[in-house]
């Protein structure tokens, strides 16, 4: 279903896992699970998240990754990242006297980066 078409009141979320990710100076990694929605909430440090362009990230930012988006990450040498990672699926499941069909949500109406 298109992002603009879902009803927030019918949104159901299945959380795969939540991780407190503590990195080290110069840490590098890629997004391994690209088939789910992901939120990265940066608590400390700074770094670079690269999709098709580089994005500077720092403490206080929330990054939303839709399914399928490739990503590489790197911590700054003097400010390692510490972030909460939340990986989840979501779908619209309506109810109107009877349960309606499950409609997977491809993209949430969230910005890629927010402060």
Quote the pTM value: 0.87
Residue 1 has pLDDT above 50, yes or no: no
Q: Are 71 and 26 in contact (CB under 8 A)?
A: no
Residue 21 has pLDDT above 50, yes or no: yes
Residue 3 has pLDDT above 70, yes or no: no
d(CA 2, CA 22): 35
Task: State the pLDDT confidence band at 49, using cuts at 50, 70 and 90.
Answer: very high
CATH number of the domain at 86, please. Answer: 2.60.120.10
- Which range of residues forms the domain containing residue 77? 3-114
Tally of domains within the chain:
1
Residue 2 has pLDDT above 50, yes or no: no
Least confident of 44-53, 84-93, 99-108: 99-108
Residue 73 has pLDDT above 90, yes or no: yes
């Amino acid at each position: 279903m298109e992002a603009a078409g879902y009803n927030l009141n019918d949104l159901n979320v299945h959380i795969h896992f939540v991780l407190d990710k503590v990195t080290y100076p110069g840490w590098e990694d890629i997004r391994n699970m690209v088939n789910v929605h992901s939120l990265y909430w940066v608590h400390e440090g700074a770094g670079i998240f690269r999709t098709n362009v580089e994005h500077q990230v720092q403490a206080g930012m929330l990054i939303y990754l839709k399914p399928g988006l490739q990503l590489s990450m790197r911590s700054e040498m003097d400010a390692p990242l510490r972030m909460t990672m939340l990986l989840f699926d979501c779908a619209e499941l309506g109810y109107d006297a009877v349960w309606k069909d499950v409609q997977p949500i491809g993209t949430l109406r969230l910005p890629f980066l927010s402060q």
